[in-house]
Amino acid sequence: MNDQIQDFFQKSLIENQIDNALYQTYSVKKGLRNEDGTGVLVGLTKISDVVGYKKIDGQKKDDYGRLYYRGINVEDMIRYPKENKRYLFEEVCFLILFGYLPTSEEFERFKKILSEQYALPPHYLEANILGFPAKNLMNKLQQEVLMLYGYDGDPDNTGILETLNKGINLLAKIPSIVCYTYQTKVHYFDEKSLVIHHVQKDLSIAEMILSLLRPDGQFTHKEAEILDIALALHADHGGGNNSTFTNVVISSTGTDIYSAVAGAIGSLKGPRHGGANLAVKRQMEKVIGEISIEALDEDIERIINRILDKDFNDGSGLIYGIGHAVYTLSDPRSEILSEKCQELAIEKGRYQEYKFYKRFGEIAVAKIYERKGIHVCTNVDFYSGLVYSMLNIPEDLYTLLFVVARTVGWIAHNIENKLYSNRIIRPATKYVGELKEYQPIEKRES
């Protein structure tokens, strides 16, 4: 760090400090959050709804969380008995994009539209990915999305149908870009063999990801089913989450879909948003390393107290994977992933590890209520990292899989905002500084 810049900065802190009390004085919501932690309303949507509790006749009756896509409970879609669950994520994508459940014929046409766009443009892989390895794959994915702008014959056309078509093209291509950029990274920087598979149009997106990542291209039905469910659960989470709102803010200026999606990826890269599942995995590895997987409940309770007392893990006092801004007693995504994680753990011979996670989560929830008097629950990040680990998906790809899933939500909100708001998003800030008189430099005190 430049010492002179540091000196300037320290002086600026004295000159420009904003008193925290001013936020209440002017009723300014920090982080666009109300005093109770709920988000400030910034728009209307019919795409998805995140429900922390249900009200009946104006009274709070049910604290169990629900997630709705276009008014349909996601849990109902996942739990509905089907003989062949291969394309749940694709069905969710259709529902989110078009607002209704497709007929069998419509769904087959939609799957074909997607699969026909899996492949990257001719020579794109060699020209843009293999020749330009990157250590940070989220930054690389941003670059690749912007690179696709140059392969579009009319990239700045922001019409509704044009945006929809471009968005579906991104939705189809991002999974292979994610896999190829990872393979390139480990080849160049970790000196591992480079294995590149061609995309297969007869595979679902979840199946394609597993086939591209694995040297032999093989996967089990259970593995594909659970990755499919994980993608479906991450597809959207309302218009107020940071990356979706970022995408809408950027697109509200009238810019192209590539810029909006690249900006959303930058938002999702942040550890407060998309990187939480990796934080959970690393936290749990440290916990197991400290007390072992056979630890008694009392041992788990002691280490949870240490985490809360900022005496273990990263010293933040946070238990990653526990608590949510909206959900109180349960995060429906976590509940589903927990069940599927158990099934996968049995198949993978890692049932003891799953049971440890389950015990840790239950004890952490109880301990937080005991110490702070608030109801919390395990959130989707608590089990998603463990699920990805059991699927042999590298840590580098945890947040990128979030991008694969959430792209459809970004596209839908982008289009909905164009259709029904179509104004540049420009909130205001309150100036709380003093008015000062300009002085020529020769009169300023040193």
**How buried is residue 98: exposed, middle or buried, by Cβ count under 10 Å (0-12/13-18/19+)?**
middle
Residues 189 and 294 placed together within one structural domain of the fold: no
Residues 171 and 285 placed together within one structural domain of the fold: no
Q: Give the pLDDT confidence score for residue 215 in this predicted structure.
A: 94
Residues 181 and 160 placed together within one structural domain of the fold: yes
Range 171-181 average pLDDT: 98
Residues 105 and 197 placed together within one structural domain of the fold: yes
Range 43-50 average pLDDT: 94
Flag whether the pTM goes above 0.75. Answer: yes
Q: Give the pLDDT confidence score for residue 34 in this predicted structure.
A: 82
pLDDT at 85 over 90: no
pLDDT at 81 over 80: no
Residue 134 lies in a domain: yes
- Alpha carbons 2 and 356: distance in angstroms, whole number: 47
Which residues form the catalytic set?
324, 381
pLDDT at 89 over 80: yes
CA distances from 264 to 14, 260, 413 (A): 34, 6, 12
Residues 223 and 90 placed together within one structural domain of the fold: yes
Beta-bridged to residue 50, according to DSSP, are: 67
Q: Give the pLDDT confidence score for residue 327 in this predicted structure.
A: 80
What is the rounded average pLDDT for all residues in the chain? Answer: 92
Residues 243 and 384 placed together within one structural domain of the fold: no
Range 155-164 average pLDDT: 97
| Close Cβ partners of 336 (under 8 Å, ≥ 6 residues apart) | 75, 78, 79, 229, 233
Residues 104 and 245 placed together within one structural domain of the fold: yes
Q: Give the pLDDT confidence score for residue 15 in this predicted structure.
A: 86
pLDDT at 61 over 60: no
Residue 61 lies in a domain: no
Beta-bridged to residue 73, according to DSSP, are: 68
Q: What is the band of 324 on the pLDDT scale with cuts at 50, 70, 90?
A: confident
Beta-bridged to residue 39, according to DSSP, are: 33
Residues 121 and 169 placed together within one structural domain of the fold: yes
Range 208-237 average pLDDT: 96
Residue 44 lies in a domain: no
Range 391-406 average pLDDT: 96
Residue 135 lies in a domain: yes
Q: Give the pLDDT confidence score for residue 410 in this predicted structure.
A: 98
Residues 227 and 353 placed together within one structural domain of the fold: no
Residues 379 and 401 placed together within one structural domain of the fold: no
Residues 251 and 363 placed together within one structural domain of the fold: no
Residues 258 and 151 placed together within one structural domain of the fold: yes
Residue 169 lies in a domain: yes
Q: Give the pLDDT confidence score for residue 330 in this predicted structure.
A: 85
Range 270-285 average pLDDT: 88
Residue 446 lies in a domain: no
122 is in which domain, residue-wise? Answer: 68-272+395-420
Phi, psi of 33 (to 5 degrees): -115, 140
CATH number reported for the structural domain that contains residue 336 in this entry = 1.10.230.10
| Close Cβ partners of 327 (under 8 Å, ≥ 6 residues apart) | 50, 52, 65, 377, 379
Tokens 């598979």 sit at which residue? 197
Q: What is the band of 226 on the pLDDT scale with cuts at 50, 70, 90?
A: very high
The tally of domains found in the chain comes to 2
